[in-house]
C-alpha cells in the first residue's frame, strides 16, 4: 500500500505552493468562510489537512469554548470551499497540521496579497 502525500507537520496557509492566482483564490475562499463567525468568536482560526498536494488542502475552522477546549466549527473541501461532513474526518489525528492561523492573521495575509 502506498503512503498518501503528506504536507509538513506544521504547514500553514502561508506555506502553500502553486501559482499566485490559485493561492489567492484559496486564501479568499478560506477567509470568506471565516468572516460570518469572526465577530462572535475572537479565537477563530483555521487548521489545514496534511493530506494532499499542498496547493489547496482541505481545512477546518475552529475556536475555543469557554473552558478553553477546541471546538471544530466546520470542515471544508479545499478546492471548492464547500462544507464536508464531520464524520468523514478524524479531528485530532496526525493528518492535521500542528499549526493554526488566526482570523486576524489570515485577514492580514489576505489584504497584503490583494494590495489592500
Give yes or no for a contact between 83 and 76, defined as CB atoms under 8 angstroms apart: yes
Distance CA 11, CA 34 (A): 19
Which tens digit of pLDDT belongs to each residue from 48-105? Answer: 998 876 778 899 999 999 998 999 999 998 888 988 876 555 666 788 899 999 999 9
**Is the pLDDT score of 39 beyond 80?**
yes
The set of cell numbers assigned to 3 is 503512503
Amino acid at each position: 500500500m502506498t503512503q498518501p502525500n503528506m504536507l509538513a507537520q506544521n504547514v500553514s496557509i502561508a506555506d502553500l505552493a502553486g501559482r499566485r492566482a490559485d493561492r489567492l483564490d484559496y486564501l479568499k475562499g478560506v477567509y470568506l468562510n471565516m468572516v460570518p463567525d469572526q465577530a462572535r468568536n475572537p479565537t477563530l482560526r483555521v487548521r489545514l489537512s496534511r493530506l494532499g498536494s499542498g496547493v489547496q488542502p482541505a481545512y477546518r475552522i475552529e475556536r475555543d469554548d469557554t473552558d478553553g477546549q477546541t471546538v471544530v466549527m466546520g470542515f471544508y473541501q479545499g478546492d471548492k470551499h464547500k462544507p464536508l461532513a464531520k464524520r468523514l474526518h478524524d479531528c485530532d489525528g496526525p493528518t492535521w497540521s500542528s499549526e493554526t492561523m488566526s482570523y486576524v492573521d489570515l485577514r492580514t495575509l489576505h489584504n497584503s496579497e490583494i494590495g489592500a
